[in-house]
Structure 1
Amino acid sequence: MELKTPLYDAHVKAGGKMVPFGGYILPVQYPTGVIKEHMAVRRQAGLFDVSHMGEILCEGEDALANLQMILTNNFDNMKDGQARYSPMCNENGGTVDDLIVYKKAENQYFIVVNAANKDKDYQWMLAHQFGKASFRDVSDQYAQLALQGPKAMEILRKIAKEEDIPKKYYHAVFDAKAAGIPCIISKTGYTGEDGVELYLDAGLAEKLWDILLEAGKEEGLIPCGLGARDTLRMEAAMPLYGHEMDDEVTPLETGLGFAVKMAKEDFVGKDALIAQGEPKRKRIGLKVTGRGIIREHQDVFVDGKVIGHTTSGTHCPFLGYPIGMALVDAAYTEEGTKVEVEVRGRIVEAFVVALPFYKRSK
């Protein structure tokens, strides 16, 4: 049975079209529609309920050693309040999940994992736990709101003091307040825009949701659903678990080498990644030139030969044309390479482009 986030009633009241996602019932869109929600985030601001994400605490004097072993990134030089993205590999080098680790304090780490993977991730962490460290699932205690877009910080400043707002990307203030409500304010997001994610007591989520929407009225802030979240992350070429990566796809194949520190002494999956050598397939961006929209799990061809498959695809409202991401043979990843994608028995032409498709101007 799907769970409800603390904001379920607020979504229904606002006319959200509710659908199952990652074990929860969430709004895919509001009456405004996906295109308007997408454009609001690119031009003004949008507010998302991401309370379905999971939160896990790692604590104890061996907490850092545990993270170093189960995650591919390096965490030994983090400052309090800093965040770091990392894949988590299995022994074969495949991806168990991708997640974000925050250093809360010495020997205390706050980990944010994907909703559909929360239980799997938590069990994986418990199975690999060692020494004086403990992992604790605290997901039920938190709601998470994402305020995203070029006007996001302007809106936030109306309800939060300057010292409670992180100055740098991938940093967080743990003992912050927004409209007097205690929360974690993190300068992160999944849209390719400026903005923050706010973690707070689940029981206070609806109150802060309403306050933010009211505070952002002048700036054009609107609630946004899963549909816009997906088209936004696609334009920004942000990988999604279950699409661009899974237990069979390594972080190196999907372009996450920046978060895989092979110089580290050891981590789960390191030996397998070394044995595999240079990835034989890689994630690419596709710009569609033919008629049609490509989706995931569709064959990609060059000269009639299957070279891989699509992992995501959509029509991008801001860019104004259809795009896709695909995992293909490394020999066909050069920009400008012409490919064909089979869409329901019909061939749609596209060509390889650099990622990301969209990058905000600083």
Structure 2
Amino acid sequence: MKILITGTAGFIGFHLANKLAKDGFEIVGIDNINDYYDVGLKYARLKESGIEEAKIEYSRPVRSSKYNNYTFVRLDLKDKEGVDALFKDFGFDAVCNLAAQAGVRYSLKNPYSYIDSNIYGFLNILEACRHFGVENLSFASSSSVYGLNKKQPFSEKHNVDHPISLYAATKKSNELMAHTYSYLYGLRITGLRFFTVYGPWGRPDMALFRFVKNILEDKPIDVYNYGKMERDFTYIDDIVEGIVRVIKNPAKPNEEWNALNPDPSSSKVAYRIYNIGNNSPVSLDMFIKIIEKELGRRAKKNLLPMQPGDVESTYADVSALIEELNYKPHTPPEIGIKNFIEWYRSFYGV
């Protein structure tokens, strides 16, 4: 199987590309390597995958020195001609779209980047799948789509029409766009709602990275909503395993789907939505205590009110993932945080 993975200089895409390359799949990875956060970390991820920075030029394929079945191309999803040429040249069997403008808080500062990457960029992927015969598409959605929902655990069967950040709105839009293309053009599409992904090689804008960095530098950490928050923290290896199972088991029509009582998580066409979460929320205070214990240091806390666009709690119902793909994320935060800190100390030499 020849698989396109978008966003392979990013956190999740990097791990997924390495996993599938090790498993023997033919992988093509793309990324625009933007400067939303430290590009040095993005190039370091690529180097870890055998892609040398000096060889990277826009739209030029680079073969990995580590995996002879992995090719990287620097490409922006907004570049429709470039995306179409890529699909034409490689002839993919499946596509996993992980490239996106991420981050809830950043969407308050730079909203246009979310429309460019998450809406227009995703449209180019859908159109390329349509015109070049790629029926197996999976894509990253987000737990952020649950927005103002209070009923927990969050189920894919719940209505998600009340997002509270532009980032969440673009992810909800992706789900609607995906269903439309599945209906119109017969694409088999699965959306994956990730819940607070963390682990080695993680993003610098995420809480774990910022907390560890500041504690080690003896700087205060920003704790929003005065610490009264819960997150369903999900370890990167668990996320990747869920994605792999989805790629190997593309969406099917729900034969029992009822238009008079529609299930938002499925359809009469080959469209499916899954949560991928740890199914075990952890309070922010407990999360910080685990970090402190692993570092052997106490955090200086800068207690702040809730930021616009944030939610107090997330909690994933993963019953569909268990029933249909026989999988449940399982890594406890103590193990995941330990693994991240070991990587952080090694990578930054602290």
TM category (shorter chain) comes to: under 0.3
Bigger strand share: 1
Choose 1 or 2 for highest CA Rg. Answer: 1
Q: Give the alignment's TM-score, normalised by structure 1.
A: 0.22
Q: Give the alignment's TM-score, normalised by structure 2.
A: 0.23
Bigger helix share: 2
